[in-house]
Amino acid sequence: MAEGGCTWLVFTGSLAAGDALELERQLGDHRLAQAHAWLWDMTGLIDLDLICAHALLRAIRRAAPGPVRIRGARRTVVRTLRRAGMGAADAIHDDRPLRTVDQ
33-52 pLDDT tens trace:
888 888 899 999 999 999 99
Q: How far is CA 43 from the centre of its chain?
A: 12
Q: Is the pTM of this model over 0.85?
A: no
Say whether pLDDT at 95 is over 80.
no
Q: Give the CATH number, domain containing residue 30.
A: 3.30.750.24
Q: Whole domain around residue 42: which residue ranges?
A: 6-101
Q: Is the residue at 33 inside a domain?
A: yes
Q: How far is the first Cα of the chain from the last one, in angstroms, to the nearest whole number?
A: 22
What torsion do the CA atoms of 3, 96, 24, 57 make, to the nearest 10 degrees? 110
Q: Is the residue at 1 inside a domain?
A: no
pLDDT of residue 87: 65
Query: Quick one: average pLDDT of 64-87?
Result: 87
Q: Is the residue at 28 inside a domain?
A: yes
